[in-house]
Structure 1
Amino acid sequence: MKAFTCQKCGNRLYFENSACVSCGTRLAYSREEREIVPVSPEGSYVGSDGSVRWVCTNTLVTGCNWLARREGGVCFACELTGAHPDDTAPASVRQQYSYAEQAKRHLLVELDALGLVVRTKREDPAEGLIFDLLASDGIATTPDVVIGHNRGVITIDLAESDDAYREHVRATLAEPYRTMLGHFRHEVGHYFEWQLVRGSEVMERCTEVFGDESVPYEQALKRHYSEGPPKGWEHHYISTYATMHPFEDFAETWAHFLHIHDTLGSAASHGLAAPVPTDKAFSEVVTDVWVPLSAALNVINRSMGHDDLYPFVIPPAVLDKLDFVASLVQDSTTP
């Protein structure tokens, strides 16, 4: 995430700010300009091209601070939301909904920064993207929510926004890391595999790197939860979940590509690291820049009594997988 400053007074801003705590200026995020911009007290903003934008109508519903194309309308990020809790949902669910929307906005900023094309289902019913944000655990109308992706429809369990619930699941599954943003990054990995791994040459290379995707998914799922990861998995995979099926290996690798890309960009924007070199393979960036930086950040986290920021070891086989994912992104954005 880039460093933002108030265009009125120069105060440092967070991406989630809807007002400057220094000068009180009302703020909103302009996706077209990729900046946090000052808006009028009524919530309007005149862009550099002369067009007028308005603060998203969901600002009071989810805390959205993005600009919409019309007064009383929703922004692009909110257009990507399908099913979601309504005003009759318990306050706890509505709060979880707000947290999920915040994570989704963060994801979209990174996808935009990478140059990846994101289309809504309204724009492209067949291959566009939409997020169903549903609540589970008997606290809403949907008792069982399965996080997943199916042809552009990503389902997220809002219960994962609850720290206690998420930590319980993480500990139960013996996972080193589990966050709401991580779920969004993983599931959008399934979507972009569907979008970008096309054509015989790319598909053959993907199979070579991640394995045979024709293995029945349900069969792999049952094996994973009954037998666990194979012996020596840590030499070939980024996580135990990645061992379940090539689809999951790809999505886990995609998520880590986004983890690393975004954190390195944030570190550079805030003066903690040099800008990420563009003339190196992504695997080189990981070994030369990310590994030492993440090790230092792990120590800093421990100094505050927290768990490691990045509790993963990246073996050479995963470096190859990260390079493949990076090449897909590069090829999709090259004119």
Structure 2
Amino acid sequence: MQIFNCDHCGHVVFFDSVQCMHCASTLAFLPDQITMAALAPAPDAGVGLWRRLGAVQPGALYRLCYNHATWDACNFAVPAASPHLLCIACRQTHRLPDLSDPGNLRHWIRIEEAKRQLFYTLARLGLQPTDDSAPPHAGPTYAFLADLPGEPGIVTGHHGGTITLNVAEADDDERARRRIALHEPYRTLIGHLRHESGHFYWDRLVRDADKLDAFRAVFGDERLDYATALSEHYAQGARTDWSHHHVSAYAAAHPWEDWAETWA
């Protein structure tokens, strides 16, 4: 678990904290600085603006993400000069379920929390731009959707730069049911997002970077028919010696999944 310190009083705070429990300062994560910060209201600078406290970047002005003010669903901040109401992480989500449904709202908030954790990891690795002017498609974009009556079920996966997640995965009971049905003992929200981000970055770090030969030397030949490989995996299960060669049984299904599982 990544921990931080309140830059007003020095007390330990956490990635999802919104208030320091020691000095009561408002806290927010600053994507452009990749850190947590203590903030104080700055009504002299403008409505809804906050001024950073502490010795690092003192006086810098921010707004709280619109999803914080509206849904209590985000603790990221937006630089005051930005034209955006949403923080850079929330802007990556392009499609949402019907948030008038309390269950969808509750599940979406949990998924966004996991997505912010992934954002932090990718930013620390230098894979996710943090400048507020960066276009959303500079990193993965997201669609968090719910099954609808009479419509095909939403399938979690990655396609064309967008990671789709069925919001039912945020329901503990439903996720446990799927975990048992699909023999995936480590099925978690953050694991799902990390896995699918692996598919996103395979396109950029392997395919688009002309690293296919190096990839195949480690993970195998991705030209193996993907649909057939997955069908055989679910019908027959993983090879008995998968643990000698892969990080999970699912990783043995296809080289793409082998790569993606190393991200989870």
TM norm. shorter chain > 0.5: yes
Please tell me whether the aligned partners of residues 128 and 139 of structure 2 are also in contact (alpha carbons under 8 angstroms).
no
Partner of 1:211: 220
Equivalent residue runs for 1:1-335 within 5 Å: 1-41=1-41, 42-46=48-52, 48=57, 51-59=60-68, 60-69=70-79, 70=82, 73-88=85-100, 90-118=101-129, 123=135, 128-136=139-147, 138=149, 144-198=153-207, 202-255=211-264
State the SS of the aligned residue for 1:82. strand
State the SS of the aligned residue for 1:28. strand
State the SS of the aligned residue for 2:95. coil
Shift of the 162–2 alpha-carbon distance from structure 1 to 2, 3 Å rule, reads same
Please tell me whether the aligned partners of residues 104 and 167 of structure 2 are also in contact (alpha carbons under 8 angstroms).
yes
Cα distance, 1:170 vs. partner?
0.9
Please tell me whether the aligned partners of residues 65 and 76 of structure 2 are also in contact (alpha carbons under 8 angstroms).
yes
Which segments of 5 or more consecutive residues in structure 2 lack a partner in the other structure?
42-47
Shift of the 164–99 alpha-carbon distance from structure 1 to 2, 3 Å rule, reads same
Alpha-carbon distance in structure 2 between the residues aligned to 1:129 and 1:26: 29
Alpha-carbon distance in structure 2 between the residues aligned to 1:73 and 1:142: 33
Alpha-carbon distance in structure 1 between the residues aligned to 2:208 and 2:164: 27
Shift of the 91–124 alpha-carbon distance from structure 1 to 2, 3 Å rule, reads closer
Residue 112 of structure 1 aligns with an amino acid whose one-letter code is A
Please tell me whether the aligned partners of residues 27 and 39 of structure 1 are also in contact (alpha carbons under 8 angstroms).
yes
Alpha-carbon distance in structure 1 between the residues aligned to 2:7 and 2:62: 17
Residue 87 of structure 2 aligns with an amino acid whose one-letter code is C
Cα distance, 1:10 vs. partner?
2.3
Alpha-carbon distance in structure 1 between the residues aligned to 2:231 and 2:191: 23
Structure with the bigger percentage of strand: 2
Shift of the 43–63 alpha-carbon distance from structure 1 to 2, 3 Å rule, reads farther
- Mean Cα deviation higher: 229-238 or 95-104: 229-238
Cα distance, 1:113 vs. partner?
1.0
Residue 132 of structure 1 aligns with an amino acid whose one-letter code is A
Cα distance, 1:21 vs. partner?
2.3
Alpha-carbon distance in structure 2 between the residues aligned to 1:36 and 1:201: 37
Which segments of 5 or more consecutive residues in structure 1 lack a partner in the other structure?
256-335
Residue 31 of structure 1 aligns with an amino acid whose one-letter code is P
Residue 135 of structure 1 aligns with an amino acid whose one-letter code is A
Please tell me whether the aligned partners of residues 91 and 136 of structure 2 are also in contact (alpha carbons under 8 angstroms).
no
Please tell me whether the aligned partners of residues 39 and 51 of structure 2 are also in contact (alpha carbons under 8 angstroms).
yes
Residue 85 of structure 2 aligns with an amino acid whose one-letter code is G
Residue 81 of structure 1 aligns with an amino acid whose one-letter code is T
Question: Which portions of structure 1, spanning 4 or more consecutive aligned residues, are displaced by more than 6 angstroms?
Answer: none
Residue 21 of structure 1 aligns with an amino acid whose one-letter code is M
Please tell me whether the aligned partners of residues 89 and 119 of structure 2 are also in contact (alpha carbons under 8 angstroms).
yes
- Mean Cα deviation higher: 104-113 or 64-73: 64-73
Alpha-carbon distance in structure 2 between the residues aligned to 1:155 and 1:114: 23
1:109-164: per-residue Cα shift (whole Å, max 9, x none)?
111111114489x8276x752010112375xx965111111121110111111111
State the SS of the aligned residue for 1:33. coil
Cα distance, 1:236 vs. partner?
1.1
Partner of 1:323: none
State the SS of the aligned residue for 1:85. coil
> Aligned pairs, how many?
250
Alpha-carbon distance in structure 2 between the residues aligned to 1:25 and 1:11: 11
TM-score in terms of structure 1 length: 0.68
Residue 160 of structure 2 aligns with an amino acid whose one-letter code is R
Alpha-carbon distance in structure 2 between the residues aligned to 1:27 and 1:153: 30
Alpha-carbon distance in structure 1 between the residues aligned to 2:83 and 2:213: 48
Alpha-carbon distance in structure 1 between the residues aligned to 2:129 and 2:6: 28
Structure with the bigger percentage of helix: 1
Residue 29 of structure 2 aligns with an amino acid whose one-letter code is Y
Cα distance, 1:240 vs. partner?
1.3
Shift of the 84–209 alpha-carbon distance from structure 1 to 2, 3 Å rule, reads same
